[in-house]
């Protein structure tokens, strides 16, 4: 057994940098019991908080970096502790001592030098938009700035999301332009990794570009971009109206502005992305979209809405290695199959990526497909 | 009501649970006339649903029903069940109260309580008193020891009140009319109002249990073997749907039961306060299960054990002695074995988990490890909350409520049963979570405060 002495100065410092609820936690462990890591390789978030309360070491290890910021614990926390702010604050303190895991340092470095976490060249950011005929954003011509996330620029699977988006926007007569190589990563994950300084510089540069170009409305494809523009940029006085693609799709279908003519005869279930659902309470719009698709039978999984299972890609985990079988997405595929789904739909490039990976690893290519809402709607347009 | 006359002062008591019963009896014994109004067809409240009371394990009915009967027959108590206070006017010392007597469709002056109508009535519905675990008839008493021991007709369920199949055709039933020898069934009975003059009012409207399906991850409403506390009280009750046998809905004896503390209590998402009674009744359940089901393992998932009353800590120790297991950590999730096997990495699946079982997931914080406990039955302890209509009652009587909906005492410490209105008093669960001893103490306290008030210059000059 160890002998320890509380180091309250450290606890105070965690509170100082944003972990303001640190002392409210009464150690009931609802967080640990709710954490998706419990399904594969438990993470003791309760103990992590207690160590922080006493300013003790022990959270520098792997555990601190396991949190995907999925927010299941925070939604259920009986004391209303902002657990993610605590995690972020502890990571921030650790970051200052240089103890950030190697792979995350790589992603942060790439954001710093090229404005994306994928080691892609900045000049390649706009390729997809040129290929699809998107014009540079012009406030007189375009209603929306289409902010597609870094992923479609550098990841071939995500490219399909913007292709589908292009088709849908054209069909509905929605005018959207792009900012191309001038924009940078939204910085959502950067902040969760604990690099507040880099996040601040991203907000500043994106904020300036939005301002210079007279952007008033952003259409975001990723819930992560949506979340940070909507809830975090305003902390830095960058307030722009933002719509997530699932919200726009629901609106277009509700207003009968899309003619879905081609039936998709299959059974579909929906995976709630954490940053759309738990972080922003957008649960119904994506379901409304799926239920409007002709020919579809919609079924629900067991872990849905506030209790949805994280794909495992948030909070910096996209850039960290997780052993096959221990990725949350590895559990999501069999869950979807257990309710009879042939299509696992979602509305987030990170989720798509993680789920596709698991589908491949599990050799389920012939049994189930992963689709973004945009892809299904585009398909139904015929 | 000639025989009620004893003293020219009268008091209104609203709510016939154990608090209202205690207040009414204490006052009536001094010669004061008590008008006791109860919304349900019987007095008794929540306590009437319980089999045993903690920590002494007294038979609840054995100590409650004699009191109920005394209330029903006391010359100074005018008991009005199936009734609600509709209006109140005046001020301290001189109130005029309007009571709405709902139509029971049975003339209780004629009815002898023989029960033949209930036996013969062909229409059934779920029994509210049995928490939906058993059925009752359309003409019913909530339970056999009800006071008054006379039935009412539930017009929503009774076929007589449905229009005939053909216009001008015959009514569909009327069996009760045929079997009732004294001719007490009266389908023409109408609700009526009565007015009473009283000097003071005691509010003992009690509480309600939170709906645990508001916490979806605990599986209530989804899995049949997840029970609320009141359901378990009925399941365990000798007069309940299983005759007191603790068994699953398909009739099996559980080999293991998990009792989950703090269901919606001490929780900012539901109720921030501690409900004060759950730790103790959870211990009571653990004891009763151990006593009734041989070899059954009982697990209590708790955050803190709060056993603060007389004899409570001793009861906790007794339960430890009986072999009940305590896991320090709030249960976070409940899944069926059938679902859970699709949700978790294969090496994380408990070996002995069958499809029919439930698995309770928590962190045991004393070990710092995750626990997954396969059980046959889960009992939740839903928060003790203010009644959904407490706002209406507050408005009717001019009472203040706290942000949790409970009525506010004049002073929590020094005037715990008084309110901002000198003629209105509160007692029991309506002002916050309380167990039976505290509720009864407040019931008596309210009676004595009423007596002091009636002797005051304010009351006498009113």
Identify any residues that bridge with B362 across adjacent strands, giving them in sequence order. B371
Q: Cβ–Cβ of A29/B330 closer than 8 Å?
A: yes
Q: What's the rounded mean pLDDT across residues B219-247?
A: 96
Where in chain A are the domains?
8-96, 102-249, 254-381
pLDDT at position B155 is 95
| B438 conformational bin, left if phi > 0, alpha if psi -120 to 50, beta if neither | alpha
Whether the model pTM is above 0.90: yes
Highest mean pLDDT among A84-98, B164-178, B386-400: B386-400
User: Which residue, among B363, B369, B373, would best test binding to A if mutated, counting the most A CBs under 10 Å from its CB?
Assistant: B363
A39 Cβ under 8 Å from any chain B Cβ:
yes
What's the CA gap between A122 and A133, in Å, rounded?
19
Asked if the model's pLDDT at residue B31 lies above 60, the reply is: yes
pLDDT digits (tens, 9 = 90+) for A7-60: 999 999 999 988 889 999 999 999 999 999 999 999 999 999 999 999 987 766
Same fold across A8-96 and A254-381: no
Q: Cβ–Cβ of B363/A32 closer than 8 Å?
A: yes
Indicate the DSSP class of residue A309: P
A77 Cβ under 8 Å from any chain B Cβ:
yes
Q: Is B190 helix (H, G, I), strand (E, B) or coil?
A: coil
Instruction: Find the angle CA(B393)-CA(B395)-CA(B396) to the nearest 5 degrees.
Output: 65
What is the distance between the terminal CA atoms of chain A, rounded to a whole angstrom?
66
Q: Is the ipTM of this complex over 0.95?
A: no
The structural domains of chain B, ordered by start, are 2-101+191-206+387-461 (3.50.50.60), 116-179 (no CATH), 211-383 (3.50.50.60)
Q: Cβ–Cβ of A302/B362 closer than 8 Å?
A: no
Asked if the model's pLDDT at residue B3 lies above 50, the reply is: no
Query: How many other CB atoms sit within 10 Å of the CB of residue B173?
Result: 17
Q: Which of B445, B341, B429, B316 is nearest to B383 (CA)?
A: B429
Q: Cβ–Cβ of A32/B262 closer than 8 Å?
A: no
For residue A43, the chain B residues in CB contact (below 8 A) are none
Tokens 């008591």 belong to which residue?
Answer: B13
Integer-rounded Cα Rg, in Å, for chain A is: 21
A306 Cβ under 8 Å from any chain B Cβ:
yes
Tokens of B165: 């199949």
For residue B335, the chain A residues in CB contact (below 8 A) are 302
pLDDT at position A60 is 60
Please state, in angstroms and as integers, the Cα–Cα distance from residue B177 to each residue in A325, B1, B31, B174, following that order.
70, 28, 40, 5
So what's the architecture of A254-381 in CATH? 3-Layer(aba) Sandwich (3.40)
Whether residue A237 contacts residue A200, with contact meaning beta carbons closer than 8 Å, is answered with: no
What's the CA gap between A246 and A272, in Å, rounded?
11
Mean of per-residue pLDDT scores for chain B: 95
Q: Cβ–Cβ of A80/B268 closer than 8 Å?
A: yes
A78 Cβ under 8 Å from any chain B Cβ:
yes
For residue A338, the chain B residues in CB contact (below 8 A) are 342
pLDDT in tens, chain A (382 residues): 889 999 999 999 999 988 889 999 999 999 999 999 999 999 999 999 999 999 987 766 788 999 999 999 999 999 999 999 999 999 998 888 878 899 999 999 999 999 999 999 999 999 999 999 999 999 999 999 999 999 999 999 999 999 999 999 999 999 999 999 999 999 999 999 999 999 999 999 999 999 999 999 999 999 999 999 999 999 999 999 999 999 999 999 999 999 999 999 999 999 999 999 999 999 999 999 999 999 999 999 999 999 999 999 999 999 999 999 999 999 999 999 999 999 999 999 999 999 999 999 999 999 999 999 999 999 999 8
How far out from the chain centre does Cα B375 lie? 27
Q: Cβ–Cβ of A302/B343 closer than 8 Å?
A: yes
Annotation: CATH topology of A8-96: Fumarate Reductase Iron-sulfur Protein; Chain B, domain 2 (1.10.1060)
Tokens of B73: 């027959």
Q: Is A219 exposed, middle or buried (0-12, 13-18, 19+ CB in 10 A)?
A: buried
CB-nearest to B368 from A26, A44, A80 is A44
Packing angle between helix A102-114 and helix A196-212, nearest 10 degrees? 30
Question: For residues B343-352, b (16+ Cβ closer than 10 Å) or e, as one string?
Answer: bbeeebbeee
Tokens of B228: 């609320």
Whether residue A32 contacts residue B363, with contact meaning beta carbons closer than 8 Å, is answered with: yes
What's the CA gap between B176 and A16, in Å, rounded?
74
Smallest CA–CA distance from B274 into chain A, residue: A78
DSSP string, A43-83: --HHHHHHHHHTT-S--SSHHHHH-----HHHHH-TT---H
DSSP string, A186-250: --HHHHHHT-HHHHHHHHHHHHHHHHHTT--EEEESSHHHHHIIIIIGGGGT---EEEEHHHHHH
Q: Is B352 helix (H, G, I), strand (E, B) or coil?
A: coil
For residue A26, the chain B residues in CB contact (below 8 A) are 266, 303
Whether residue B33 contacts residue B6, with contact meaning beta carbons closer than 8 Å, is answered with: yes
DSSP string, B391-453: HHHHHHHT--B-TTSPBPPSBTTTBTTB-SSTTEEE-GGGGS---HHHHHHHHHHHHHHHHHH
């Amino acid at each position: 057994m160890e002998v320890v002495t509380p180091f309250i100065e450290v606890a105070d410092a965690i509170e100082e940098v944003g972990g303001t609820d640190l002392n409210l936690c009464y150690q009931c462990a609802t967080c640990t019991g709710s954490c998706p890591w419990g399904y594969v390789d438990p993470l003791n978030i309760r103990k992590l908080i207690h160590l922080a309360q006493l300013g003790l070491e022990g959270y520098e290890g792997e555990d601190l970096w396991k949190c995907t910021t999925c927010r299941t614990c925070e939604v259920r926390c009986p004391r209303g502790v902002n657990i993610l702010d605590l995690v972020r604050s502890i990571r921030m303190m650790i970051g200052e001592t240089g103890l950030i895991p190697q792979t995350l340092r790589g992603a942060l470095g790439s954001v710093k030098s090229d404005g994306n976490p994928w080691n892609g060249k900045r000049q390649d950011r706009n390729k997809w938009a040129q290929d699809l005929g998107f014009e540079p954003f012009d406030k007189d011509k375009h209603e929306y700035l289409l902010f597609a996330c870094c992923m479609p620029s550098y990841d071939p699977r995500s490219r399909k999301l913007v292709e589908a988006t292009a088709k849908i926007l054209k069909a509905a007569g929605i005018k959207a332009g792009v900012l191309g190589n001038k924009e940078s990563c939204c910085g959502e994950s950067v902040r969760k990794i604990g690099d507040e300084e880099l996040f601040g510089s991203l907000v500043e540069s994106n904020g300036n570009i939005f301002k210079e170009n007279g952007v008033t409305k952003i259409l975001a494809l990723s819930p992560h971009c949506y979340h940070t523009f909507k809830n975090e940029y305003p902390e830095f006085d960058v307030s722009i109206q933002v719509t997530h693609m699932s919200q726009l799709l629901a609106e277009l279908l509700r207003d009968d502005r899309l003619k879905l003519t081609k039936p998709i005869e299959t059974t579909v279930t929906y995976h709630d992305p954490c940053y759309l659902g738990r972080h922003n309470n957008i649960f119904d719009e994506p379901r409304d979209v799926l239920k409007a698709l002709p020919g579809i039978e919609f079924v629900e999984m067991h872990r849905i809405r506030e209790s949805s299972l994280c794909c495992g890609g948030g909070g910096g985990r996209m850039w960290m290695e997780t052993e096959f079988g221990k990725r949350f997405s590895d559990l999501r595929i069999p869950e979807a199959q257990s309710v009879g789904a042939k299509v696992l739909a979602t509305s987030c490039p990170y989720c798509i990526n993680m789920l596709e990976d698991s589908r491949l690893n599990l050799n389920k290519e012939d049994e189930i497909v992963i689709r973004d809402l945009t892809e299904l709607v585009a398909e139904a347009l015929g | 009501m000639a025989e009620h006359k004893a003293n020219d002062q009268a008091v209104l008591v609203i709510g016939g649970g154990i608090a209202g019963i205690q207040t009414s009896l204490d006052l009536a014994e001094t010669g004061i006339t008590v008008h006791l109004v109860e919304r349900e067809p019987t007095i008794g409240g929540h306590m009437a649903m319980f089999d045993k009371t903690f920590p002494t394990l007294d038979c609840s009915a054995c100590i409650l029903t004699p009191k109920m009967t005394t209330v029903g027959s006391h010359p100074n108590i005018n008991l009005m069940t199936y009734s609600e206070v509709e209006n109140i006017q005046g001020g301290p010392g001189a109130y005029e109260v309007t009571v709405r007597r709902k139509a029971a469709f049975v003339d209780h002056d004629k009815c002898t309580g023989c029960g033949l109508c209930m036996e013969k009535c062909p229409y059934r519905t779920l029994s509210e008193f049995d928490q939906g675990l058993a059925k009752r008839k359309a003409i019913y008493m909530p339970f056999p020891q009800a006071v008054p021991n006379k039935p009412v007709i539930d017009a929503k369920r009774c076929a007589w009140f449905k229009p005939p199949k053909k216009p001008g055709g015959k009514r569909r039933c009327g069996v009760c009319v045929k079997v009732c020898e004294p001719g007490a069934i009266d389908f023409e009975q109408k609700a009526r109002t009565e007015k009473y003059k009283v000097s003071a009012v005691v509010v003992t409207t009690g509480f309600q249990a939170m709906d645990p399906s508001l916490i979806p991850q605990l599986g209530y409403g989804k899995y049949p073997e997840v029970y609320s506390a009141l359901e378990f009280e009925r399941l365990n009750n000798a007069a309940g749907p299983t005759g007191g046998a603790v068994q699953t809905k398909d009739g099996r004896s559980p080999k293991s039961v998990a009792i989950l503390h703090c269901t919606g209590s001490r929780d900012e998402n539901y109720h921030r306060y501690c409900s004060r009674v759950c730790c103790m009744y959870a211990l009571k359940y653990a004891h009763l299960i151990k006593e009734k089901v041989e070899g059954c393992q009982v697990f209590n998932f708790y955050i803190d054990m709060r056993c603060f009353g007389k004899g409570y800590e001793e009861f906790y120790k007794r339960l430890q002695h009986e072999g009940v297991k305590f896991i320090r950590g709030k249960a976070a999730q409940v899944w069926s074995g059938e679902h859970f096997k699709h949700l978790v990495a294969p090496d994380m699946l408990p070996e002995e988990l069958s499809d029919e079982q439930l698995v309770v997931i928590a962190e045991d914080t004393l070990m710092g490890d995750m626990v997954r406990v396969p059980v046959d039955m889960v009992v939740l302890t839903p928060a003790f909350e203010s009644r959904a209509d407490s706002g209406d009652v507050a408005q009717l009587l001019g009472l203040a409520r706290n942000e949790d909906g409970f009525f506010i005492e004049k002073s929590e410490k020094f005037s715990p049963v008084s309110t901002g209105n000198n003629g209105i008093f509160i007692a029991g669960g309506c002002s916050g979570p309380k167990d039976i001893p505290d509720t009864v103490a407040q019931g008596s306290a309210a009676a004595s405060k009423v007596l002091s008030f009636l002797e005051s210059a304010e009351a006498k000059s009113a």
